[in-house]
Structure 1
């Protein structure tokens, strides 16, 4: 089945409040689990954890959970677990209170571990590790965020799995877990019932993917829109907003599309993308044709042109600058391909949008 992309109207034509309203009004909603909540996440915090990881995860969930900016835990729930009356201190010094005690009777779709500074990894209460082992034995998927992957590995819960490790911690990982497989070429990795994330703003990408899977593309699109810091910044989150949120169950295809989105200005060769997602160019070609109806090269070029169209309608950058940002050698190549895809020259499209 081909993947679908939901692309909101350009913001030049549509107010931000209107867009959020349309996404909130979407009727697309997966079947509810018995609790009536679509996505339930329990959160374990290791000592000196990064506050950004907790904030990114919770903020993404709150945008998906309710309409507008009401932030009620309606469609998603998130709970900080731990030992009562023992708050956890973040690396910045802020203390976070525990909301619920550790109990295997809690029902969660995922239990997420946000790791802390490595010198403090062993200072966690032993009950945290025991709890992780209990919920893993019960079949609950585990998420390791930032050095949370280290916490899972220390607990023996990543055996036979590949962990996503931040490049800064690669040497630490090799020293502590010399036989444990890892990767650094992605923001996050799904490996069966183990999910790992490099940390930083990558948590927003992971949270959005979990929301898409459990709550639907409309909720994911709302998160991407609401958490875009600047529409003019060339970040991966911004590009997701510009290109629409691609929904696919094929991991290789998803990883390849993510690499394309991250490398718009300086496009990668398809052979390089295939190698990074650990497949062959021929197999990647078959997957793209089956799922999207286009070759990887065509899909990549069309994505760059789509990003260019978004820039045309949401910025006042000259066409030559947009061509460069979209990975074209010069404006003439960009204009020719743009006209072939959209049937109108970039300058004429911009004038039409401004006149509307």
Structure 2
């Protein structure tokens, strides 16, 4: 039996405990109760969430008597307004060395950092607070564009739904890839994102205002292995090339060529992180002229070559 303890404090994000469904369904898929889950707080009793919903908790056990294998610390909506209580930090310092692993979901990473558990380690958090985490805790190597990071026994995730990816990664580590895939399927998750995957979506960043431009972007994403000229995109939405370029730039703030390169980069990065395809194949499938062209685009867009992205993804997994 692997015991998971969720450490909750007043104002915790409800989304954090939604990740318990991952472990619940892992038990279903495994056909036996592999995980046992409990909600804890330092004082015990009811704890109010960010939605003012009360959740009953057990009092956190003395570390010497704790049988919890994995501690998961929930984040709060605004980690900058108030720090974690000293009792919580003291508990984590003692319990962290005894547990198999400790995780911070979203801004729960701030609590781990305050407790000193992230010193000298790689970590991530919600992109909105990543810079502040780095400034407050310079001893932490903050990577603000990762879904989750595993550094030894310490796990941290980006914001909100990224906690589901972190929980699925734990299931994969404990029970294997097939169980994790089955759990993701039962939870109707589109895919299990790798830890090295970006927190940001190119499609969301473009945010077109009209259905026509959205249709053009959808067409581009489905046909990245083609040349995708302005003329092709304009034809797909029944506009002249000149009118299409003008409307596209006005709505997205980017030229069609730059936006298409962004979509190619996102697709290539995902393939590199989640597959073992050679880089030549990745370049061909995502519409780059060749491997060298893809490398130039990666350095321009991400500041690192494709090989570094693959290396980081494997290290995070």
| TM-score in same-fold range (> 0.5) | yes
Q: Secondary structure at the match of 2:57?
A: coil
Report the TM-score, using the length of structure 2 for normalisation.
0.61
Whether 1:118 aligns to 2:112 is no
Give ranges in structure 2 of 5+ residues lacking alignment. 204-220, 222-262, 289-317
Q: How far did 1:196 drift?
A: 0.5
CA contact (8 A) 1:87 1:98 kept: yes
Q: Please, which of 93, 110, 115 is the counterpart of residue 52 of structure 2?
A: 93
| 1:98-247 alignment, distance < 5 Å | 98-104=57-63, 105-116=65-76, 117-119=78-80, 121-122=82-83, 124=85, 126-138=86-98, 140-228=100-188, 237-240=189-192
Q: How far did 1:151 drift?
A: 0.4
Q: Secondary structure at the match of 2:4?
A: strand
Q: Secondary structure at the match of 1:138?
A: coil
Report the TM-score, using the length of structure 1 for normalisation.
0.55
CA contact (8 A) 2:6 2:38 kept: yes
Cα distance change, pair 255–187 in 1 and its aligned pair in 2 (3 A): closer
Where relative contact order (Cα < 8 A, 6+ residues apart) is larger, the structure is: 1
CA contact (8 A) 1:165 1:197 kept: yes
Whether 1:267 aligns to 2:264 is yes
Q: How far did 1:103 drift?
A: 2.4
Q: Please, which of 50, 60, 65 is the counterpart of residue 27 of structure 2?
A: 65
Which residue does the alignment assign to 2:229? none
Give ranges in structure 1 of 5+ residues lacking alignment. 1-36, 229-236, 246-253, 275-283, 303-326, 330-356
CA contact (8 A) 2:109 2:125 kept: yes
Q: How far did 1:226 drift?
A: 1.8
Q: How far did 1:46 drift?
A: 2.6
Q: How far did 1:100 drift?
A: 4.7
Q: How far did 1:110 drift?
A: 1.4
Which residue does the alignment assign to 1:78? 37
Q: How far did 1:189 drift?
A: 0.3
Which residue does the alignment assign to 2:236? none
